[in-house]
Amino acid sequence: MTGSELRALRLSRSLSRPALASLTGVHPDTVKYWEEKPAVDLRGHAPKRMLRALGVEDFPNSRSIQEQRADRGFLRTTRARGGVLDREGIFLRHARCGALTRKGTPCRAMSLPDKTRCRFHGGASTGPRTDEGRARIAEAQRKRWAAWRAARGQ
């Protein structure tokens, strides 16, 4: 059942949102919330009460949200230690960050999807902003590349 179908049922009974809300004991914003949903989960407390007030006990399309999502091609995921497995069993990386914090202990935040660090330790640097900073970074890069070449024997 969709929210627009729920709204059509309410309008067919000539009820306003506040009237349906007072009949069911929910807030009028709750009625609005469910009427704007692309798929109404009929196992929920508020939708059941609204349908009962509208005189509909058993709706023909009373399938769960998970069943509706599966029909639309959404992945079903399974939790696994250290990450998530999708429907085909492919491991979606999502592990602990592990970067050293100021205390010297490993960071316990979860890493960003397909990254090794969390949002605090793996953010993009904006780089140096002053001429002195740019010169310092350039010198550090020259030293780094010189050491790399020396290690490779070039």
Express as a percent the part of the chain with pLDDT over 90. Answer: 18
Domain 3-67 fold is 434 Repressor (Amino-terminal Domain) (1.10.260)
Task: Tell me the C-alpha to C-alpha distance, in Å, between residue 109 and each of 24, 57, 85, 102, 132.
Answer: 43, 46, 19, 14, 34
Judged by DSSP in three states, 103 sits in: coil
Query: Which residue ranges make up each domain of the chain?
Result: 3-67, 76-123, 127-154
State the average pLDDT over residues 112-128: 76
The pLDDT of residue 79 is: 47
Q: First CA to last CA across the chain, in angstroms?
A: 69
Q: Span 108-126, mean pLDDT?
A: 77
83: which strand partners?
80, 93
Burial class (CB within 10 angstroms; exposed 0-12, middle 13-18, buried 19+) of 116 = middle
Average per-residue pLDDT for the chain: 78
Nearest one of 73, 56, 74 to 10, comparing CA atoms: 56
Nearest Cα to Cα of residue 42 among 51, 33, 55, 29: 51
Residue 56 CB contacts under 8 Å (≥ 6 apart), including other chains: 9
Average pLDDT over residues 128-152: 93
